[in-house]
Amino acid sequence: MSRWDDDFKNHQIHNNLQSVSNLLKEIKNFDDQDPEIFEEIDRLNQIIRYVPIVFGKVDPVMIPLKIIDELNQIIINITGDLNNYKNTKDRAQLINANGRAENLLVKISNLIIPSDYADIKG
Residue pair 88/37 in contact by the 8 Å Cβ criterion: no
Domain assignment of residue 120, yes or no: no
One-letter amino acid at 61 equals V
Give residue-wise pLDDT tens across range 44-62. 999 999 999 999 999 999 9
What average pLDDT score do residues 68-80 get? 98
Specify the pTM.
Answer: 0.90
| Predicted pLDDT of residue 87 | 94
More confident residue, 25 or 119: 25
Domain assignment of residue 86, yes or no: yes
Q: Residue 48: phi, psi to the nearest 5?
A: -65, -40
- Looking at the structure of the chain, the number of domains it has is 1
Domain assignment of residue 122, yes or no: no
Domain assignment of residue 121, yes or no: no
Range of 12's domain? 3-112
Assess whether pLDDT exceeds 80 at residue 102: yes
Assess whether pLDDT exceeds 90 at residue 34: no
Domain assignment of residue 12, yes or no: yes
Domain assignment of residue 119, yes or no: no
